[in-house]
Chain A
Amino acid sequence: MARITLENIGFHYPGAVQDTLSGLNLEIANGEAHALLGASGAGKTTLLNLLSGLLSPTAGKLLFDGQDVSQLAGHARNVAQVFQFPVLYESLSVAENLAFPLKSRGVAASQIAERVDYICDELAISPLREHKPGALSLFEKQLVAVGKALVRADLSLVLLDEPLTAVEPRIKWRLRQTLRKVQEDLGVTMIYVTHDQTEALTFADRVSVLTAGGILQTGTPAEIYETPGHEFVGHFVGSPGMNFVPNSALNVSMGERLGFRPEWAVIDESGPVQGVVTRTRVQRTHDSIPYGLVTLATLHGELSVRGATDIEVGTNTALRVHRYVAFADQQKVGEGELV
């Protein structure tokens, strides 16, 4: 395993007008589960390809444990990758698939057997060992693909490229749990690329939010959610995202705009921000706890707050905010509480 350092990484596709990535700095600790979260077009795939060795950065350096690997090919970097759909050798059995990355590196047969047994136990796929991939379900295939990525003991880094995309929703949760457990058991450094915030926030130790070629914020899932460093992060993370109002609306002098999460405000007729209820619905948190969500049309656009859904649509009411993050020029400048 290795500590991964991105030093001022930039990338420019030949012939492109703009840099796809520029000035990227990131430090990922040994054994960390890190998520790269971004909408499509944010440069996630390019960054992934830079890490896997498919592309080489046109600026800056990529270091594994302090060693510059920027110009090395993928197999020389000791990187493994799990793709959006299961990528396996169809003519080989599950056990042969798992053994393949070891065999092609000339690992001794006894050691191969040991590692394959270990991975089969860890992912609970021992009963599938002699099957061909064609006989497995999509979920099982993806598990085997994960196993194939984790089988080498000397890996520097495991990349996961939206590995749950092809898996049906019912099973997503199970595969994510398995991934998380294996990551902790093996202590591998993992980078998980996704556009799905729930996946990112529930999987990773730390999350980096990527947009238009740069990292806006890196932090623990709680930091990302509660103290977004940039308006985009507040808006992008959370469903629905953060609400924004000018600071004058709440009589706060800090910053220019104030952001607050739906659960940081309540419906209160005597509150400072008045509006009309436009819709109510029941939402679920990522751990499936239901809660009510009320949306008001106000002077500052639509704002959503947590609250009882028995309020009539069309009711004139107001909301009271008790916690906020202040932004100036889209950057976070402070946070505070109101009574």
Chain B
Amino acid sequence: MSSFKPHNNRAWLGVLPVVLIVAFSAVIPLMTVVNYSVQDILDLNTRFFVGFEWYRETLNDPRFLAAFLRQVVFSLTVLMIEIPLGIAVAKSIPKTGRLTPFILILLALPLLIPWNVVATIWQIFARPDIGLLGVGVNALGISYNYTAEPLHAWLTLVAMDVWHWTSLVVLLTFAGLTSIPLPFYQAAELDGANRWQLFTLVELPRLRGVLIIAVLLRLMDSFMIYTEPFVLTGGGPGNATTFLSQHLATMAVGQFDLGPAAAFSVIYFLFILLFCWLFYTTVVKRDES
């Protein structure tokens, strides 16, 4: 470094537009929520500062803990199905060929459907009285009713999420696979590698980047799931499929408990951040070692 240091801060002006946009789109709304979370709001003019009271209450609320646990189980379940399934499907798509574009378009279709439409489709599809799936399963002699049985509601939700989102993993993985240069396959073949070694030693390491993205996207999205269970099961039967978002919406909009709902939101946000951060750092750390 040279000792000459120009005193000119005009470059900060260049950053200003970004600061303003980020402030209005993220920081200010977030701070409003943080502000609410430390107050008890009785009406528009009456409010008290209550410190961390709402946080303490939320973290000790058995309904919150139950919703949180359901949320974790749900996210892990769909991740554990969608990632391996997505890789398996991507591997079975021919890399070149006349059919490939059609397969890709077909796979992308579920991603283009609005979320509440997806849920409506499945709500009708799985109905035991008129839905193709519901009637079909019952006709096989298996009693199935997702509106009455918590397990059935869960299975239906997981199946719907897998149907809706596996394509995303497939498309990402397929893009990753096609970017592996041919010589890597040739070398493995000449080395006498079997198919499993080809997958674990050549393909998986080279898919690492896209798979990290896929896991992060699916983790965040599934953790914030709202529309589909809301339309499909309404959180029921009972509270069996009430996930964090829906619980939050009930508190904030249904009961107008703005303070506790704000504290809930902040906790929720921090959890997602923590999850993603933990995942990313462990994966990237391992990468660097």
Contacts and interface: CB of A to CB of B under 8 A. Distances in A.
Contacts of A54: 186, 189
Interface stretch (A22-30, A88-96, A259-267, A322-330): A88-96
B190 A52 contact: yes
Contacts of A232: none
Contact of A74 (B184, B190, B206): B190
Nearest to A49: B186
A196 B192 CA distance: 31
Nearest to B197: A104
A90 B205 contact: yes
B201 A74 contact: no
Contacts of B197: 104
A105 B192 contact: yes
Interface in B124-139: none
B190 A81 contact: yes
Interface string A271-293: 00000000000000000000000
Nearest to A101: B191
Interface centre among A52, A73, A92, A100 (most CB of B within 10 A): A100
A84 B181 CA distance: 11
B205 A83 contact: no
User: Among the interface residues A52, A91, A92, which one has the most CB atoms of the partner chain B within 10 A?
Assistant: A91
B194 interface: yes
Contact of B189 (A73, A83, A148): A73
A52 B181 CA distance: 17
Contacts of B189: 53-54, 73-75
Nearest to B201: A89
B186 A75 contact: no
Contact of B184 (A79, A87, A105): A87
A165 to B, nearest CB: 12
Nearest to A100: B191
A150 interface: no
Interface string A48-79: 00001110000000000000000001110001
Q: Of residues B181, B191, B197, B204, which shows the largest number of chain A Cβ atoms within 10 Å of its Cβ? A: B191
Interface residues of A, number: 22
A101 B190 CA distance: 8
B183 interface: yes
Interface string B146-169: 000000000000000000000000
A80 B181 CA distance: 17
A62 B206 CA distance: 35
A85 interface: yes
Contacts of B190: 52-53, 74-75, 79-81, 101
A81 B186 contact: yes
Contacts of A73: 189
Nearest to B289: A132
B205 A75 contact: no
A200 B22 CA distance: 59
A53 B191 CA distance: 13
A83 B181 CA distance: 11
A105 B193 CA distance: 9
B289 to A, nearest CB: 9
A261 B114 CA distance: 74
Contacts of B194: 104
A104 B191 contact: yes
Contacts of A75: 189-192
Interface of B: 181, 183-184, 186-187, 189-194, 197, 201-202, 204-206
19 contacts: A53-B189, A54-B189, A73-B189, A74-B190, A80-B190, A80-B191, A81-B186, A87-B181, A89-B202, A89-B205, A90-B206, A91-B204, A92-B201, A100-B193, A104-B191, A104-B192, A104-B194, A104-B197, A105-B192
Given A75-B192, A90-B205, A105-B192, 10 more contacts: A53-B189, A74-B190, A79-B190, A80-B191, A83-B187, A87-B181, A87-B183, A87-B187, A91-B201, A100-B191
